[in-house]
A = this chain, B = another copy of it.
Amino acid sequence: MMIHPWSAIAALLPVQGTMPLLLTAAPEVDSALVLAGVLLSLAVIYVASKVGGEICYRINLPPVLGELIMGVVVGISVLHALVFPETGGTTENSFIMQLLADTTSLDTQVAPETFAAISEVISTLSEIGVVILLFEVGLESNLKELLRVGPQALIVAFVGVVVPFAAGTAGLMTLFHIPAVAAIFAGAALTATSIGITSKVLSELGRLSSTEGQIILGAAVVDDILGLLVLAVVASLAKTGEVNVNQVVYLIIASTIFLGGAILLGRFFNSAFIKVASALKTRGDLIIPALIFAFVMAYIANAIQLEAILGSFAAGLVLDETDEREELQKNVIPVADALVPIFFVVVGAKTDISVLNPTIPANQEGLIMALFLIIVAIVGKVVTGAVVFGQEKINRLAVGVGMIPRGEVGLVFLSVGRSTEALSPPLEAAIVMMVILTTFLAPPLLRFVFPNPNEPSTAIAANSDANSET
């Protein structure tokens, strides 16, 4: 009957109230109701992702844009079907919590704890979703091609960090008379590139394995690491007035060893993976070893202060060389289909677009700064296409546009900047607007600069079959 954790077995400890309808025990969070709330949230997320994705597909836009927008619709900005405590959600304004209260035995005393538990599970599932997305992107990528375009990706990333940072910081100081530390933080927030959104759009356009796609992907990975360095520098600068050189050196060494090590040991991982997978006789013989590898690499990346998604991307990249790749991809696709939409809908749901409303007086000062930041954010990345060298028929505009979305990344700068109390409220709002608009503009812009998805101009023959499966 009741499927509950075996909460009662060990040591016969006091257990959670598993049957609250039958007994009026001390109020505790009921794990059955957490499950019910999570299932309901997932149903809302899936409906939103399909409605948004299908509409965008039909009007010839990347489906992920629809997932983001429908996320906004079901989220804190509009319907409140899916809200989170850390972005203003409460048990009172959450539709799912109200439905739980109306239809189940939810104890109102523990409603906030139940809400927090549901939100924690959904947030973590969305983060597992992007870990899986980057694993799949790694599988779709071609390590040799990525290494071939490595020098171009490096320079694209470098220019895409320096130009927006310099232009943003200088412009805020001279045009808006923002103090140096605040201007540096805002400039730093302009440097980031959201690898998740960029790679998903490229995959949907069938361009991930094109030369442009691989340059963008490589540059986004490098950008990720450069962003961590910039953040380490500006954070220590804001706190102590000095740059923490040790932290910067550590990050450079750790990221080099991690990515270099993954690539160098790739052949070993590969043959080990093949041996394990072919020895297994029970269900999940491919997907489970692959997930173990992806999750362990994600953990290691996290532990050495890089990011979980860099680890799973490296894992996918390594297994891309495997003979079993096609079969593995077939197994990963349904898992990704079930988990990845959670990430994009949750990103949308946590976005409060009221900050964009010009009729709210408090937004107006920020709007002018936001306009400046958005121009710098777009121009500063679009110019990076110009520095690609050694590629004749490259779509330079597409490379630059691919670097535009800031996604959640810019917000990490914001949260660090806020904790140092360097930023004024209008500047904070301006950064949020810049992040929202670059994120939501990038998918249609990318669609526009990659006009014909069925005739890739510079596709890589060796890997182009991967596109058809996505």
A residues engaging B (CB < 8 A)? 1-13, 15-19, 21-23, 25, 31-36, 38-40, 42-43, 46-47, 49-50, 53-54, 57-58, 63, 76, 84, 86-88, 103-105, 117, 120-121, 123-128, 130-131, 192, 196, 223-224, 227-228, 231-232, 235-236, 239, 247, 279-284, 287-289, 291-292, 295-296, 298-299, 302-303, 305, 307-309, 331-335, 337-338, 341, 346-347, 350-352, 354-355, 408-409, 411-412, 414-416, 418-420, 425, 428-429, 432, 435-436, 470
**CA distance in complex: A47, B289 (Å):** 8
**CA distance in complex: A415, B32 (Å):** 14
Give 21 CB contacts A-B under 8 Å: A1-B192, A3-B127, A5-B127, A5-B346, A5-B408, A7-B86, A7-B87, A9-B350, A10-B76, A10-B352, A12-B425, A12-B432, A13-B87, A13-B88, A19-B416, A21-B247, A32-B302, A35-B124, A36-B308, A54-B281, A117-B124
Chain B residues whose CB sits within 8 angstroms of the CB of A9 once the complex forms: 87, 350-352, 355, 411, 432, 435-436
**CA distance in complex: A354, B12 (Å):** 11
Residue of A63, A335, A420 most packed against chain B (CB within 10 A):
A335
Rounded to whole Å, the gap between the CB of A421 and the closest CB of chain B is 11
**CA distance in complex: A38, B127 (Å):** 10
Chain B residues whose CB sits within 8 angstroms of the CB of A247 once the complex forms: 21-22
Closest residue of chain B to A284 (Cβ to Cβ) is: B337
Q: Indicate which residue in B16, B104, B331 contacts A302 across the interface (CB closer than 8 Å).
A: B104
Chain B residues whose CB sits within 8 angstroms of the CB of A288 once the complex forms: 46, 49-50, 337-338, 341
Residue of A1, A117, A227, A283 most packed against chain B (CB within 10 A):
A1
Chain B residues whose CB sits within 8 angstroms of the CB of A196 once the complex forms: 3
- Whether the pair B38, A124 counts as a contact (CB closer than 8 A) is yes
> A-B pairs with the 4 shortest C-beta distances?
A10-B87, A284-B337, A10-B352, A1-B227
**Would A57 and B120 be within 8 Å (CB), given that A9-B411, A350-B7, A411-B4 are in contact?**
no
**CA distance in complex: A31, B128 (Å):** 12
10 new A-B contacts at CB < 8 Å, known A10-B88, A35-B308? A10-B76, A10-B350, A18-B415, A21-B305, A22-B416, A36-B299, A39-B131, A43-B291, A120-B121, A332-B334
Closest residue of chain B to A49 (Cβ to Cβ) is: B288
Rounded to whole Å, the gap between the CB of A130 and the closest CB of chain B is 5
- Whether the pair A34, B86 counts as a contact (CB closer than 8 A) is no
Rounded to whole Å, the gap between the CB of A413 and the closest CB of chain B is 9
Q: Indicate which residue in B292, B337, B352 contacts A11 across the interface (CB closer than 8 Å).
A: B352
- Whether the pair A15, B120 counts as a contact (CB closer than 8 A) is no
Q: Indicate which residue in B23, B53, B281, B283 contacts A235 across the interface (CB closer than 8 Å).
A: B23
Chain B residues whose CB sits within 8 angstroms of the CB of A346 once the complex forms: 5
Residue of A120, A232, A299, A408 most packed against chain B (CB within 10 A):
A299
Rounded to whole Å, the gap between the CB of A160 and the closest CB of chain B is 13
Rounded to whole Å, the gap between the CB of A34 and the closest CB of chain B is 6
Closest residue of chain B to A56 (Cβ to Cβ) is: B282
**Would A296 and B43 be within 8 Å (CB), given that A9-B350, A308-B32 are in contact?**
yes
**CA distance in complex: A217, B88 (Å):** 45
- Whether the pair A283, B337 counts as a contact (CB closer than 8 A) is yes
- Whether the pair A284, B341 counts as a contact (CB closer than 8 A) is yes
- Whether the pair B127, A35 counts as a contact (CB closer than 8 A) is yes
- Whether the pair A409, B6 counts as a contact (CB closer than 8 A) is no
Q: Indicate which residue in B15, B17, B35, B291 contacts A338 across the interface (CB closer than 8 Å).
A: B291
